[in-house]
Amino acid sequence: MLSEIGGLSVTSQKSVLLIIGGGIAAYKCLELIRLLSKAGIKTRAILTKAAEQFVTPLSVAALIGEKVYTDLFSLTDEAEMGHIQLSRSTDLVVVAPATADLMAKMASGLATDLATTALLATDKPVMIAPAMNVRMWGHPATQRNLAQLKKDGVKVIGPDEGDMACGEYGPGRLSEPDAIAAKIIDFLKGTGNKPLTGKKMLVTAGPTHEPIDPVRYIANRSSGKQGYAIAEALAALGADVTLISGPTQLDVPGGVKRIDVESASDMLAATTLALPVDGAIFAAAVADWRVANSSDQKVKKKDGALPDLTLAENPDILATVSQLKSGRPELVVGFAAETQNIIENGSSKLVRKGCDWIVANDVSPDTGTFGGDRNSVHLITNDGVDSWPSQSKAEVSSQLAKQISEYFQGR
């Protein structure tokens, strides 16, 4: 909700051109417009013909307080505001829901209606929030179009994974309006104000894979989503971000330099190489143990005998960096993934590892945090504990990035 990200509200009036595509999720745009207007952002809207089947121009117009544009060849529109001006007199163009059809047209540069013409004519940044059936999303054509759009500099929000209106389950749901609003607000704030410009930040993310042999490994369920979102939020505030990532399915956020690693030892080596930095955020779910007697050859089954695996403790990357005698980053932030006594365990980790802040979160299975899109965290510092409301991982990241930028501004 925007009240939870109220601290991010935009002060000087910014504007968004919202292109509403024809998908069942189009109704969520009404809530998105409400959240943007609450943050002081002016919205203009274009509805595609298909979108009009799901949401009426009248309801959108009532919320934005001005007429909605639908027709490329309307003479009054052209007299009042042509499609070129419409696409340029804005700070950001947002397409939500971005249907498979709209994405395909954008990727090929087609201009067959007002929405696609405005998208081709704009000289402003473009964000899309895709929403479609899971199979349409996974289709090679859509994935090809997505890759092309990213190459063209289009920013992509979501889609989320979950139950779909068509009864199927998987990725393809439109991101929630509060998460889309948070990304838009962050971006618009960033366009005028990049408080972390000139600051070097390092973020670790994802799981680590500890090899047993060339084909098997020990791993954990971390998706990497929180760490990636933090890297993106820091970059949006102007930081020069290096993301050291264990194996994930995620795309590298725009403006972030990613270094891929597999094991905890690789992650420590890459982290050490990336120093010095001003701030380091350790969001990776590093495996606590590795197989000390891992094999260079595939371990074969022998008459039912079980392999004799010996575990050894992995280096603690957060503690190593926190306790550096020279070259320690000015701000070191760790995560504490806990299933019980969250604040107590998080506070003792702050002391034990020697970091400056701990973001403690509840990863009990019923919270859905691990692999999910939401997170409920407590920020523990030497000054006390600040418990944040449950919010999307994007919102947690924005709030953390904002707090980090305030820390550096206050120095």
Task: Name the residues annotated as catalytic.
Answer: 166
Query: Helix, strand or coil for residue 325?
Result: coil
Q: Is 282 in the site for ligand CTP (CB under 6 A)?
A: yes
Q: Is 286 in the site for ligand CTP (CB under 6 A)?
A: yes
Q: Is 303 exposed, middle or buried (0-12, 13-18, 19+ CB in 10 A)?
A: exposed
| Binders of ligand CTP in range 167-226 (CB under 6 A) | 204
Helix 57-64 and helix 28-38, axial crossing angle in degrees, nearest 10? 10
Q: For the beta carbon of residue 248, count every other beta carbon within 10 angstroms.
A: 18
Binding range to ligand CTP, per CB under 6 A, among 19-27, 165-173, 334-342, 387-395:
334-342
CA distance 139 to 352: 48
Of residues 166 and 292, the one with the C-beta less far from ligand CTP: 292
Q: Is 288 in the site for ligand CTP (CB under 6 A)?
A: yes
Q: Is 314 in the site for ligand CTP (CB under 6 A)?
A: yes
Q: Least separation, in Å, of the C-beta of 214 and ligand CTP? A: 23
Of residues 137 and 282, the one with the C-beta less far from ligand CTP: 282
Q: Is 284 in the site for ligand CTP (CB under 6 A)?
A: yes
Q: Least separation, in Å, of the C-beta of 337 and ligand CTP? A: 4
| Binders of ligand CTP in range 359-378 (CB under 6 A) | none
* Count of residues touching ligand CTP (by CB under 6 A): 15
- Whether 280 contacts 333, CB under 8 Å: yes
Of residues 190 and 207, the one with the C-beta less far from ligand CTP: 207
Of residues 89 and 341, the one with the C-beta less far from ligand CTP: 341
Of residues 28 and 349, the one with the C-beta less far from ligand CTP: 349
CA distance 306 to 286: 26
DSSP codes of every residue in 27-92 = GHHHHHHHHHHHTTEEEEEEE-TTGGGTS-HHHHHHHHTS--B--TT-HHHHHH--HHHHHHSSSE
Q: Is 264 in the site for ligand CTP (CB under 6 A)?
A: yes
CA distance 350 to 368: 24
- Whether 157 contacts 186, CB under 8 Å: no
Helices (H), 133-276: 134-138, 140-151, 177-192, 225-236, 264-274
Q: Is 23 in the site for ligand CTP (CB under 6 A)?
A: no
Binding range to ligand CTP, per CB under 6 A, among 9-17, 38-46, 131-139, 333-341:
333-341
Q: Which residues bind ligand CTP (CB under 6 A)?
A: 204, 264, 282, 284, 286, 288, 314, 316-318, 334-337, 349
